[in-house]
Amino acid sequence: MKIDHRTLRFGVIGDPIAQSKSPVMMNRAFEAVGINGIYMAFHVRPEMLKAAVDGIRGLGLRGVNVTIPHKLAVMAYLDEIDEAAQVIGAVNTIVNDDGKLTGYNTDGIGYVRSLKEETGVQIRGKRILLLGAGGAARGVAYALAKEQPEQIWIANRTAERAAQLAQALRPYGSVDGMGLEGLDDIKHKVDIVINTTSVGMHPQIDERPADPRMFPQGAVLSDLIYNPLKTRWLLEAEESGYRIHGGLGMFVYQGAYAFEYWTGKQAPVDVMREAVEQALRSE
C-alpha cells in the first residue's frame, strides 16, 4: 500500500489504548479488500475528548472507533446519533461524511452474533445476567433484549447506574438493575452470565468479576474481554465444567460492522479474526 494524499484515515480513541488490537485487525482488513486506508490508535484522555472529536473533522478522518471510557461522553460532540445508539446511550463507531459526524453502536449486534455462532445457544426465553453497566453493557443489553429473553438482570457496583440502564431498556423487555449485593437473590436462576466490565483484561489478568461457581452448572459464562483470549474468570469456569464464551468473536464482528459502515464493502471477517489471533499469540 502506498500512503499518499488519497489514503483514507481511520482510528480508535480510548484511555488506555496501548492494548488495542484494532489497528492490527483493521489494517489487515483494508489490505485484504484492497482499500487504500490506514488505521491508528490514539490515546485520548477524558479532558481531551472534545478536542479529539474536533480533530476528526479537522483532519478528515473517515471513521473512528470509540472504546473505554469514551463511549457515553463522546455522544455530546457528534452531529447525529443512530436510533439504536440513542436507545443504548453509547457510541463505539463514528462515521465522518464531509465533516458531519454520525455515531453508531456495533457492540451489541457483534456480541449477539458471536454468542449464537460460537455456543449455539438460543437467547429467546433465557434468563441473562450482565455484570457491569458501562458503555459495552448498554449495547449488549439492548441487542439481547431484542432477542426476547425471559429476563435480563444488570448488576453493577453502583446500583443506581444499573437501575438507570434497566429503566431505559424496559420498553424492549423485562430488565431489572441492582447492586452486586443483589446477586444472592438471582444467581441460582440464570442461564447466561456475561462479564461486561474490564476486570480481568490484560495486564490485570489475575482479577475476576465474581466466583463463577456461584452460578448454576448448566449456565453459559461469557466475557467481553478478548485479551487474554481466556480470562481467569473463563478459565476457572471451564475447569469447573461450565460452557464458556470469550470476547474475540464480539471484537471481530463489532469491527466488521464498523468496517462496512465506513467503506460500504463486506468485511473480511476470517482475515480479521486471524490477524487478532496472530497478534495475541505473539505477545
216-234 average pLDDT score:
95
**Catalytic residue (one of 71, 126, 187, 230):** 71
The answer to whether 32 is a known ligand-binding residue is no
Against a cut of 0.85, is the pTM above it?
Answer: yes
Average pLDDT, the chain: 95
The answer to whether 143 is a known ligand-binding residue is no
Q: What is the per-residue pLDDT for 12? A: 98
The answer to whether 93 is a known ligand-binding residue is no
The candidate with the shortest Cα–Cα distance to 258, out of 60, 95, 69, is 95
The pLDDT tens digits of the residues spanning 164-210 come to 999 999 999 999 999 999 999 999 999 999 999 989 988 889 999 99
The pLDDT tens digits of the residues spanning 77-91 come to 999 999 989 988 889
CA–CA dist 214, 274 (Å, integer): 34
CATH number for the domain formed by residue range(s) 8-105+249-281 = 3.40.50.10860
The answer to whether 136 is a known ligand-binding residue is yes
The pLDDT tens digits of the residues spanning 264-274 come to 999 999 999 99
Residue 212 is given by DSSP the state G
Active site residue 71: yes
User: Can you read off the three cell numbers belonging to residue 174?
Assistant: 423485562
Tell the CATH topology of 108-246.
Rossmann fold (3.40.50)
**Which parts of 71-171 are beta strand (E)?**
80-81, 93-97, 100-104, 127-131, 151-156
Domains 8-105+249-281 and 108-246 agree in fold: yes
Q: How confident is the model at residue 1 (pLDDT cuts 50, 70, 90)?
A: low
User: Can you read off the three cell numbers belonging to residue 163?
Assistant: 437501575
The domain segmentation of the chain, as residue ranges, is: 8-105+249-281, 108-246
